[in-house]
Structure 1
C-alpha cells in the first residue's frame, strides 16, 4: 500500500487546521452591534444612533473600556441593527448606515442606504507599547482611505493657515495660540471623533490619511454620518453635549485691554462709551486687579486699585454693561487659595513663569475648592462671567506645541493619570465644573466662560475659545480666518480672537512703532470688521489703548461696523438659538453650504455668517505700508576676536554671570530651548554673554530685534543701545552702520524664569527699511469668489451677480464685501446702544428674491434659563419666490414682556433699496403684526 498520498493529505489537512486556528475569528452579537475577537486582537462595532457608530480596537489581554471625558451619550436602546455574516465579512446595518468588517484584515468600510461608499479604513491598526510616568499603554494609529476630491476640516484651531487639511499634517497639542478638538468633518458628509486625549497627529499623504496618538489603552473613535455637514456636527454634539444659549448681551461688543489698572480707569472708559453713544455691552477686566504676581488669581480685588468692586459691578449693571473678569488656574504663593490648595496637595510642583503654581483641575475636589474661592471673592461681587486664561495650562509661557507637550509631560501625572495620557483635556475638565457650579448657583443669569483652549465636549460648558496671544501682522490676521472656521467646523461653535492682536511688535507682530501708527490702525480696522462677523465680537490686547475712539482716521469705520453688528442682533440672536436648539454653526466655511462647488474647498478667506451673509474680509493693506518683519542676524555677519566665524559664548548657571559653566563659539544667536535646557545651564536661571565682531554688508540704518523674555542688552563699540520698543520682545534704537566695517559686539542675557526659554537676535537692515517707505498704489477693491448655482446680492448696493465666478468689489476703509444669497431673509433691528436697550420694533425684514426662503425669528427674556422650559417665542417668515408672497406665521410660544403688537417693515431688496447699514426710508409693505398668521403679496 502506498502511504505517501495519505501522509501528504494528512499533512496538508493539518496545515489547514493550524491556519484556521491561527486565523480563527469569534463573532459575538452585542447591543446595537458586534464584537470580533482573534488571536491578534479584538474589535467592537456599536451603533449609538442610526448614523453614529463607535469603533473600539484593543490588543489581546486589553480592554475596550476606558474613561471618556468627552462622550456623555449612551447607545440608543431601540435601534434596529441587523447583523449578517458571510465567509469574508460581518455586516451591520441600521437602515441608514451600513458597516462592513473584513474578517481577514478587520478593516471597516462604511456605506449609505444606497450602497454608496462613504469611507474605508486601510491597513492594520497599530499598537506600540509605551510607558509614561509608570502609566502603561500604547501609541495607537488608524489609517483611512480618502477619496481624491473630498475636503477635510475641523480639528480645532491651528495657526499654520490651513483650511482644507488634504495633504497636510496637523499636530494636536494645546498651546498659547492652538486649540485642540480631535473631530474632523468631510465634504462627503461624515465625521470622525477620535476619542483620545494625548498628543495626536492627523496626517494625509499619498499613502492615505491617519490619526496617531502617543498614549491610549485602545483605539476608540466614532464615525458620524449625515445628509450634510450640519447633520454631522449635530451628531458630534449628540455625543458630546449641546451648546447652551448665552445672554443676549454676550453677542454684543466686548471692550478689553491688558489691562485696566484701576476701578476708576475702567469706569471712565465705560462712561465715555455711553456718553458717545457707541454701542457696547461688555467690559473685561484682565489680570493684576489683585496687584502683584505673588497674589496671582487670588480671587480678590486689591483694595487700593479696586476699592469697591461690588459697587462698581452694580453701577456697570445700571449702565447696562456686563463685566467679565480674568481668572487663572495658576495661583500666587501669597494667596489663601494657594495655601489651601497646597495643604490639600492639589498643586503641581513646577513654579510657573510668574512665580505661581497651577492647580490640578482633573481633581473634582480641587475644582470644588477653586469654586469656593471664586464664588466668595468674585461671583459674590456681581461678575457676569469668567475669562479663564492659560488653560493649556501654559506653565512656562511657551510659544509652541512642542514646549507645552514637553513641560506638561515633565510634571508626570495628574489626578486621573499620566499627563501623556490626558495632555489635551485640562480646559475641558476645568470648564465642566466651573459651568456646573454656576448652574447650581443660579438660573437667573446665563453662564459665560472664555478660555484659551478647547476640547471635544467643551461647547456644553458655555465656553468660547479665543485664539490666544497673536501678534499684529497682516499674515497672522489672515490666518485667524481659517483658524476660526476650522474651530467652528469641529463642532465647537463659539470662537473669537484679539481684535488688534495681543502684541504689536512681538509673536510675529511687526508694528513696533506703536498704536498711533496709522499702518497699525488700518490693520486694527480690518480686524475689527472681521470681528463683527465672528460669534463673539471682542477687542483685546496690550501696549496701546484699544477703545474705538483711539483709532484715528479709522474710528468712524469702527463705529459704522459696530452699529451694523447691533442692527443685525435679531438675526444673530435667532441663529444663536438655532445653535442651541438645532446644533447649528454660525461661522461657516463655504463647503458647508456649497459642497457641490469644489472651488469652495480651498477658499480660506471667505465664509458664511449664518445662512444669509457671505463675508469677504480685507486681508492686506491698502492705505499705509506696514513695517517689515525683521530677520535673523545670520552667522556670516559675526567673527570672534581671533577671526573665527561666529561669536564666543560664555554660559553661566546663575543669572549674574558668576557661576561659569561652559565656553563655546556659537555661529550666531539663535537659541530655542522649548524642549528642555542643556545640562550646562540650570533649569530655573542662567546668564549668557556673547562677544565678537559684527561686520554688516550694507551701509545705513540698522535696528536690532531681541526675541526673548529675559533681561538683555547689546553693547556696540562700548555703548549700550537703548530700547525703543518694549514688550515680550524688544527693538533697540536704530543705528547707522557701514558695510564692511568691524564693530565690537556684546550681547548679554540674564534669565530668572523657569522652563522653556529662547534667545534669538534679529535685525532690520537698510534694504528692509527701504521696503517700508515704498508707496505702491493699491486698489481699494477685493476679489471675491461667488459659489455656483446661486444668485448673489451686494449687501451695500443691492446689485446682483451670478455664481461660479470671481468678481472685484469695492473695499475702501469703511467697507468689506458682504454678499447675500437669493432666498435670504434678514431681520434688522433699530439702532441701539446695547443689546437689550429696547425690543426689536420696528423690525426691518429684508427679502432677497430669486429663490424660496425661510427665517425663524427667536426672542426670549434675554438672560435666564427659562428658555430651557419652553419660555420663548418664535415667528417664521416664509418667502414664496414664484408667487412673490411672504407668509408670517402665527407666533409660537410666549414669555414675560414679549411684544403683543409690533411693526414689520418689509423690503424686497433691489438695487438701491434695502441696502447697507441705514434704516430704509422706503419699504414695500409695513405690517402691523399681532401674532396672527398673515400673507402679503408683492
Structure 2
C-alpha cells in the first residue's frame, strides 16, 4: 500500500448517489462522480458486488464460477429509505449508503456480519494504464479469519498480510508468500456470526487481515474490478458448502486414486520402475500408483518417450497394471523449441504459443532448454492440448497425468515467470499476463482433464496439478509443492492441507517426508501417519539426499510405514464416503476444529487437530522424540481409536502414543466402516466391519459405494447406506436405510460394538429375536455377524 500522504493524494472514492436502477434480482447504483456499484442476489445466502470507476463494466467472465452457481432465491426486495437503500433476501440484507455507496450486511436475525470501512476506492496506475482497485472493511472486535488456500502460516489469518501470485518457490519456508496457488477466498468469524468473501479477480491480489490497521481488513488488486461474492451462513461449514456451490465440486475420482502413491524425481528407467513395483509387493506394502517424472521423456519433450531407458512403455504399463498398479506421468507446459518435434511444429504452425505484445513468440528456459508455451486461455489451444493425450492414455494406458511447473515457472529470470507483456486470449477477453498469470495453471489442468477424461473413458480421469485458481478443484487434485524434510514442514503440511480443504480443494496431499533433503525414520513415519488422512497420499522426493521409499529406513521403519498405509486401506470405505460428501455436498474432507464447532472459542486458534469426515478427530505428532502430546477435544464425547477409552470433550487432554500410532479419536455415536487390508484397491469388497461407538445421542453415519470407476453411479448405480443410532438406557438400536441400484458385494457384515459395559441379553433383527454368536474382543468390545441389508438391529439389556 502507499504511504499515508500518497494515499491522501492518490486514492479516490465514490461520492453521493445519483440514481439506482433496479432490474429483477440486481440493482446498479450510480454516484455523481461516475462510480458504479452493481449488487446482485445470487441465492438466498449470497450477494455479489461489482464496482467500476470507469463508467462501465467489463464483460462478465470468470474461470472460477460453476455453470449452475445461481440457484435462485425466494424473493429479492429493494427499499429506499432516507439515507440508504436496503436490499433483502430471506437470509441476508444489505444496506447501501446514499452518501458514499458504503455497504453493510446483516443476517436474517438483523445482526451485523460485515461493513465497509473506507469501502471501495481506487488509485490510478498511470504506468500500467489501469486502476489499482481496493476494498477496506471494518474488522469487528475479536474477528478471526480463515481460508486463502495454501499459505504456509498460522491457520488463523488475523494480523497477517498475503498476496496471490502463482510462484515456483523451491524449498519454501514457513510463512513464505506467495506460493503456487491462487485462491482469493476467506472466512470471517466473530461473536455475531460468520461469513465468506470470494474476491474473484485474477490479477495479483493482496489481503490484509487487520495487520496494518488493527480494526481494518482489506483486499485489493493491481487491475480489473472489485468483484466479490458475500456468503452468509449459520456456520463455517454452511459457508464452505455455499462457496463450493459457487465455484464447483469435483466428480467422484477413481477409487484407486485414494490409495497410496509412490513417486520420485526420478525413476529414470523401466527397470527401476519395475524394481520399485516388485519391492512394494514383496514387502506387502499396499500401493496403487507409481509415477514417472521428467526423465521418462525424450530430452524432456512432452508426450514423448526415452526409448533407450523405456523401450516398451505400453508393455511396462500393462505389467504394472497386472500387478495392481496404475501409472501416472508428468507433463509440463514448456514445449521444447525443435521443429523436428511434432508438438512444437504443430503448435507453431497453428499459432498456439504465447506471444509478446509486439508480436514475437515468447521463449523461456525450463527443463528442455528454450521452450514455447501454449496459451491455455485460448479454447482452441485447450482443445488441441486435450487431443495430445490420445497416445499416452488410450494407446499406452496411463491412468493419470501430473501437471507441474505451471505457475508458469521459468528458470534463470528474476521474476521466475513470463514477462507481464505476454498476451493471452482469455476466452475472447484478450489481456496481458498480468490478468492471466494466476489462472494459467488452472487452464492447463482443465485442458489436461478434458483430454484424460476423453481417452480414459469409460474410466474416470485422475489429474494432479501444482498451480491453480479458485474453481480448479473441478479438474484436478493438488499437492502442496516442493517442501523440505523437516519437522517444521510436517507442521506446515498439516496446516496447508487444512487450509486448502476449506478453500474448496479437498483432494490435496503433500510430498510425504519432504521433497528436498532427507527425513529421519521418525519424521518419515510421522509424516506417513498424517498422510493417512490426506485424500492424496503420495511420497515424492528429489532423491538428491537418499532414497525415500517406504523401506528406506530399515526394518523397523518399514514395519511402521506399512502399518500406517494399512490403516489407510482399512479405512478406504470411510475415505470414499468422505469424498462422496465433498463431491455431492461440497463438505471439506479435512476440517479445522472451528469448522466442527465455531461457537467454541477454543477452536479458533487450534491448528494441529482436525476432523476428517464427519466422525474422526486426528491430532498428528509434529515433534521428534514424543511419546504423547496434548490435544483439544471439541464438545461432546470421544473414543480413543486405539484404546477405545471414552473421553469427555470440551477440554484439552494429554494422550500417550507410541511411534506406531497417530493420536485419533472417534465421535461417540458414530459408525466407522472398515475392510481387511488389500495390497491395492479393489473396486468392491466382500468383507465389511461396522465399528459402532456407543453414544448417548442419536447420530447419523453414512457409507457410500459405487463401482469405483466409470459413470454408472450418475444413473443410480450406487449403494448408499444411511445409519442412525437410537440409544436409550435399556437398549441400543441401529437403523439402516439403503438407496441406489447397485447390489452389495458384501453378503454379511460384522458389527463391532465399542464402549458397552456388558454383553447384551437379547439381540433383535428387524424387531424379531435373532440368534447370534457374540465374540468378545479386547478393550471390552464385542462383535457378531448379520446380513448386510438389515433394516434394524436392537441390543437389549433389560
TM-score (norm 2): 0.87
Question: What is the rounded CA distance, in whole Å, between the counterparts of 1:141 and 1:122 in structure 2?
Answer: 11
- Closer, same or farther: CA 379–283 of 1 in aligned 2, 3 Å: same
The 5 A counterparts of 1:497-512 are 497-504=510-517
Question: What is the rounded CA distance, in whole Å, between the counterparts of 1:350 and 1:142 in structure 2?
Answer: 37
Is contact 1:616-1:818 (8 Å) kept?
Answer: yes
Q: Secondary structure of the equivalent of 1:548? A: coil
Question: What is the rounded CA distance, in whole Å, between the counterparts of 2:139 and 2:560 in structure 1?
Answer: 45
The residue aligned with 1:52 is 46
The residue aligned with 2:223 is 215
Q: Does 1:381 align with 2:375?
A: no
Question: What is the rounded CA distance, in whole Å, between the counterparts of 1:240 and 1:397 in structure 2?
Answer: 35
Q: Secondary structure of the equivalent of 1:300? A: coil
Which residue, 270, 277, 283 being the options, matches 2:284?
277
Q: Which blocks of at least 5 consecutive residues in structure 1 are unaligned?
A: 1-20, 505-514, 623-778
Q: Does 1:191 align with 2:192?
A: no
The residue aligned with 1:906 is 752
Q: Does 1:144 align with 2:151?
A: no
Deviation at 1:579, TM superposition (A): 0.8
Q: Does 1:130 align with 2:125?
A: yes
Which residue, 790, 793, 796 being the options, matches 1:935?
793
Q: Which moved more, 1:250-259 or 1:818-827?
A: 818-827
Question: What is the rounded CA distance, in whole Å, between the counterparts of 1:265 and 1:238 in structure 2?
Answer: 44
Q: Which blocks of at least 5 consecutive residues in structure 2 are unaligned?
A: 1-13, 170-178, 355-361, 760-775
- Closer, same or farther: CA 529–131 of 1 in aligned 2, 3 Å: farther
The residue aligned with 2:308 is 304
The residue aligned with 1:528 is 528
The 5 A counterparts of 1:740-759 are none
The 5 A counterparts of 1:468-483 are 468-483=481-496
- Closer, same or farther: CA 919–459 of 1 in aligned 2, 3 Å: farther
Deviation at 1:839, TM superposition (A): 0.7
Q: Does 1:403 align with 2:415?
A: yes
- Closer, same or farther: CA 932–211 of 1 in aligned 2, 3 Å: same
What is the aligned-residue RMSD (CA, Å)?
2.4
How many residues get paired?
730
- Closer, same or farther: CA 900–224 of 1 in aligned 2, 3 Å: same
Instruction: After superposition, give the CA deviation of every residue in 1:642-678 in whole Å (9 maximum; x if it has no partner).
Output: xxxxxxxxxxxxxxxxxxxxxxxxxxxxxxxxxxxxx
Deviation at 1:385, TM superposition (A): 0.8
Q: Does 1:548 align with 2:542?
A: no
The residue aligned with 2:104 is 109
Deviation at 1:228, TM superposition (A): 1.8
The residue aligned with 1:599 is 602
Question: What is the rounded CA distance, in whole Å, between the counterparts of 2:370 and 2:262 in structure 1?
Answer: 27
Q: Does 1:424 align with 2:438?
A: yes
Question: What is the rounded CA distance, in whole Å, between the counterparts of 1:831 and 1:919 in structure 2?
Answer: 19
Is contact 2:638-2:647 (8 Å) kept?
Answer: yes
Question: What is the rounded CA distance, in whole Å, between the counterparts of 1:801 and 1:153 in structure 2?
Answer: 29
Is contact 1:828-1:845 (8 Å) kept?
Answer: yes
The 5 A counterparts of 1:788-867 are 789-836=635-682, 839-867=685-713
The residue aligned with 1:201 is 206
Deviation at 1:534, TM superposition (A): 0.8
Instruction: After superposition, give the CA deviation of every residue in 1:518-570 in whole Å (9 maximum; x if it has no partner).
Output: x6222111111111111111111022322211122322111111110011011
Question: What is the rounded CA distance, in whole Å, between the counterparts of 1:388 and 1:855 in structure 2?
Answer: 36
Q: Does 1:322 align with 2:326?
A: yes
The residue aligned with 1:39 is 32
Is contact 1:386-1:448 (8 Å) kept?
Answer: yes
- Closer, same or farther: CA 111–24 of 1 in aligned 2, 3 Å: closer
The residue aligned with 1:365 is 380
Is contact 2:401-2:463 (8 Å) kept?
Answer: yes
Deviation at 1:152, TM superposition (A): 1.1
The 5 A counterparts of 1:563-574 are 563-574=566-577
Is contact 1:132-1:420 (8 Å) kept?
Answer: no
Q: Secondary structure of the equivalent of 1:874? A: strand
Question: What is the rounded CA distance, in whole Å, between the counterparts of 1:831 and 1:599 in structure 2?
Answer: 37
Deviation at 1:919, TM superposition (A): 9.0
Question: What is the rounded CA distance, in whole Å, between the counterparts of 2:196 and 2:567 in structure 1?
Answer: 35
Is contact 2:261-2:537 (8 Å) kept?
Answer: yes
Deviation at 1:148, TM superposition (A): 2.5
Question: What is the rounded CA distance, in whole Å, between the counterparts of 1:604 and 1:265 in structure 2?
Answer: 40
Instruction: After superposition, give the CA deviation of every residue in 1:361-397 in whole Å (9 maximum; x if it has no partner).
Output: 1122222222232223454211111100112011127
Larger Rg: 1
Is contact 2:673-2:688 (8 Å) kept?
Answer: no
Which residue, 408, 412, 422 being the options, matches 1:412?
422
Which residue, 282, 285, 294 being the options, matches 1:287?
294
The residue aligned with 1:62 is 56
Deviation at 1:454, TM superposition (A): 2.4
Question: What is the rounded CA distance, in whole Å, between the counterparts of 2:151 and 2:672 in structure 1?
Answer: 32
Question: What is the rounded CA distance, in whole Å, between the counterparts of 1:22 and 1:366 in structure 2?
Answer: 44
Deviation at 1:127, TM superposition (A): 1.8
- Closer, same or farther: CA 465–362 of 1 in aligned 2, 3 Å: same
Deviation at 1:31, TM superposition (A): 2.0
Instruction: After superposition, give the CA deviation of every residue in 1:99-132 in whole Å (9 maximum; x if it has no partner).
Output: 1111112111111111111111221412223367
Is contact 1:443-1:865 (8 Å) kept?
Answer: no
Is contact 1:121-1:144 (8 Å) kept?
Answer: yes
The residue aligned with 2:738 is 891
The 5 A counterparts of 1:567-646 are 567-622=570-625
Is contact 1:797-1:911 (8 Å) kept?
Answer: no
Question: What is the rounded CA distance, in whole Å, between the counterparts of 1:472 and 1:403 in structure 2?
Answer: 26
Q: Secondary structure of the equivalent of 2:125? A: strand
Deviation at 1:29, TM superposition (A): 1.1
Question: What is the rounded CA distance, in whole Å, between the counterparts of 1:192 and 1:207 in structure 2?
Answer: 17
Is contact 2:17-2:100 (8 Å) kept?
Answer: no
